[in-house]
């Protein structure tokens, strides 16, 4: 509850300090590593084209030309390569002249590993090795708690209720301390922190120059909770506001019976109402086909495809726009085929057929990404992967 009441202050507090800290570092150096044929930084990537790869173009030129579409969220089952796909997309956007931010909302962050740079700390940091501005952020709920404490100081529940005109009832709650509430584990704190950052990206002037913001989301369950959070808060805030008005009216009537001074009604174009309006703004952005796109990432297994189908059904229910499906880790053709590879490829081909027959997934643009024989780490490797996926 404390996080709900105070999210409005935290998300509206400017993040200019983070911007100023990295502004001096935005003179990005040219790439240290160059791509020569299929060799990147000494690693040989043996890639053989899939027979159907041409059919799976992502239409990246379309993604570049749609100027209004600013937010890209990549999500899916855990372990399918969401972070690599999101990071490669961010590098691709930046390489084509779009000032870009890439954000990890996954509690188990992998952006630092993907870029092979230290991006921890909960603040925006410049990604080295990209010619255009590219900033990265790993959202840290602990940092958000510290921001709340700095915004509010050491406030008791009584002080909070006094500010809401409910101080007479605070004695019933004892000496609860706001700091104790913040230190307690809060369900959904990761999603609250993510929403806070989305609000900052939407409203703070210092972010207006960034034309693309890519979200590396948490596995499916966390992501659906993130997308449904604005609706949940809208409902919760409405209930809290109604309860406050009822309690204030009852207390006023009680005091008037005993001839005491009537409580002044404090109108609530207050933080709750403001937060309600801004949550509605976030909800509208998530559902706006002109500004937002959710890209589902999966792998060619029956379990992953089934979860992706359920994810798309949930996103459709939430009216979140989805246009593309990335099938990652596809085995490429090989001249000297081993029995294991042949069986795996046959199974993957069967799974691709399931996608074409799935009512949820068949209408999406299918992007096929091959399994590589080396780990994708660092900007040069991400550029290489981006050229394979984002065509």
Give me the DSSP letters along 13-29.
Answer: S--HHHHHHHHTT-SPP
Amino acid 335: pLDDT: 72
CA atoms within 13 A on the CB side of 5: 17
Biggest alpha carbon–alpha carbon distance for the chain: 95
CA–CA distance, 246 with 91 (Å, rounded to integer)? 53
Interval 107-133: pLDDT, tens: 778 899 999 999 988 889 999 999 889
Amino acid 279: pLDDT: 73
Band (pLDDT 50/70/90 cuts) for residue 234 is low
CA–CA distance, 8 with 6 (Å, rounded to integer)? 5
Interval 298-339: pLDDT, tens: 999 999 999 999 999 999 988 999 999 999 999 988 777 788
Active centre residues (catalytic): 106
CA–CA distance, 375 with 372 (Å, rounded to integer)? 7
pLDDT at 378 over 60: yes
**383 neighbors 333 (Cβ within 8 angstroms):** no
Amino acid 211: pLDDT: 93
Q: Helix crossing, 2-12 with 271-287: angle to 10°?
A: 70
What are the structure tokens assigned to 239, written together?
């209930």
Q: Which residues of 74-103 are buried (b: 16+ CB within 10 A; e: fewer)?
A: bbbbeebbbbbbbbbbbbbbbbeebbbbbb
Burial of residue 188 (number of CB atoms within 10 Å: 0-12, 13-18, 19+): middle
Band (pLDDT 50/70/90 cuts) for residue 71 is very high
**72 neighbors 360 (Cβ within 8 angstroms):** no
What is the arithmetic mean of pLDDT over 90-106? 93
């Amino acid at each position: 509850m404390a996080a709900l009441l105070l999210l409005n202050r935290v998300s509206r507090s400017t993040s200019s300090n983070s911007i100023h800290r990295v502004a001096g570092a935005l003179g990005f150096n040219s790439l240290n590593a160059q791509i020569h044929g299929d060799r990147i930084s000494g690693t040989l990537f043996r890639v053989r084209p899939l027979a159907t790869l041409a059919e799976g173009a992502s239409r990246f030129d379309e993604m570049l030309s749609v100027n209004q579409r600013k937010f890209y969220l990549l999500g899916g089952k855990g372990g399918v390569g969401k972070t690599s796909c999101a990071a490669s997309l961010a590098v691709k956007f930046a390489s084509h002249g779009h000032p870009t931010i890439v954000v990890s909302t996954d509690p188990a962050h992998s952006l630092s590993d993907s870029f092979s740079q230290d991006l921890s700390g909960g603040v925006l940091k410049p990604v080295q090795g990209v010619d255009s501005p590219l900033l990265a952020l790993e959202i840290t709920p602990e940092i958000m708690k510290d921001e709340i404490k700095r915004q509010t100081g050491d406030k008791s529940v009584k002080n909070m209720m006094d500010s809401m005109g409910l101080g007479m009832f605070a004695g019933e709650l004892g000496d609860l301390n706001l700091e104790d509430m913040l230190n307690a584990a809060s369900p959904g704190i990761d999603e609250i922190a993510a929403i806070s950052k989305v609000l900052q990206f939407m409203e703070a002037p210092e972010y207006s120059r960034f034309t693309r913001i890519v979200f590396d989301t948490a596995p499916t369950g966390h992501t659906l909770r993130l997308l449904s959070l604005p609706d949940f808060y809208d409902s919760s805030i409405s209930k809290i506001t109604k309860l406050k008005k009822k309690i204030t009216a009852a207390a006023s009537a009680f005091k008037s019976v005993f001839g005491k001074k009537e409580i002044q009604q404090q109108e609530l174009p207050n933080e709750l109402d403001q937060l309600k309006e801004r949550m509605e703004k976030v909800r509208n952005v998530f559902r706006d086909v002109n500004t937002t796109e959710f890209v589902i990432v999966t792998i060619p297994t029956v379990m992953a495809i089934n979860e992706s189908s359920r994810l798309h059904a949930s996103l459709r229910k939430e009216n979140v726009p989805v246009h593309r499906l990335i099938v990652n880790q596809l085995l490429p053709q090989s001249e000297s085929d081993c029995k294991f590879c042949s069986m795996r490829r046959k199974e993957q081909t069967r799974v691709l057929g399931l996608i074409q027959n799935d009512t949820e997934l068949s209408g999406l643009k299918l992007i096929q990404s091959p399994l590589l024989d080396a780990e994708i780490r660092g900007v040069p490797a991400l550029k290489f992967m981006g050229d394979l996926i984002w065509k």
